[in-house]
Structure 1
Amino acid sequence: MELAVEHDRAARRFHATVDGHRCVLDYTLSGDLMSIVHTGVPAEVGGRGIAARLTETAVDAARAAGWRVAPLCSYARVWFERHPEFRDLLA
């Protein structure tokens, strides 16, 4: 599935709209530490890999910016367990 994920730096949010439903990943930033605090995908569009795409986009942005990542939300923690190639970014 093609998914256009946008990064709203001011709101500290990655988001996408799927079938009219807003899907989000929220983070905080302290120095060079990105803390992923919430990943939300409405049930109506769940099960399509949207949360994974939001998380991967956020982690790619963190790597490009030279940030470390603290996966504070449960989804992000599981995502990192499933993607050991990104563990070098863990704070």
Structure 2
Amino acid sequence: MNFIYNPNQIAYFHSDNNLLAEVTFPNVDENTVDINHTFVDDSLRGQGVAGKLMEATALYLRSQGKTAVLTCSYAISWFEKHAEYQDILK
């Protein structure tokens, strides 16, 4: 799966440029983002896409030296199950 990395979003698009999945994380301050939204199109649900997006987001934020607060219910649940990424949580 080829994700598109934008400053405050990681997304997956169909070949016709329709958005199929995304995680958004606007800046809270210079070093912190708020993971506030996860979306997966119905056509991809149940295939682990949201988890792959969240892992990509965690790795991206870690590589950027950023921390995150979580206001997205999926993100909260995902991080509770993935202790290996707790270091990026504020």
Q: CA RMSD in A?
A: 1.5
Aligned to 1:53: 52
Aligned to 2:21: 23
Question: What TM-score do the two structures reach when normalised by structure 1?
Answer: 0.86
Distance 1:63 1:4 in 2: 19
Contact 1:5 1:16 in 2 (8 A): yes
Contact 2:23 2:37 in 1 (8 A): yes
Which consecutive residues of structure 1, in runs of 5 or more, have no partner in the other structure? none
Percentage of identical aligned residues? 25
Q: Deviations over 1:5-64 (max 9, x none)?
A: 11112xx21101358652111111121001101000012210111111111111111101
Q: Which runs of 4+ in 1 moved over 6 A?
A: none
Which consecutive residues of structure 2, in runs of 5 or more, have no partner in the other structure? none
Aligned with residue 14 of structure 1, among 2, 10, 15:
10
Give the secondary-structure state (helix, strand or coil) at the position aligned to 2:25.
strand
Question: What TM-score do the two structures reach when normalised by structure 2?
Answer: 0.87
Contact 2:11 2:19 in 1 (8 A): no
Aligned to 1:87: 86
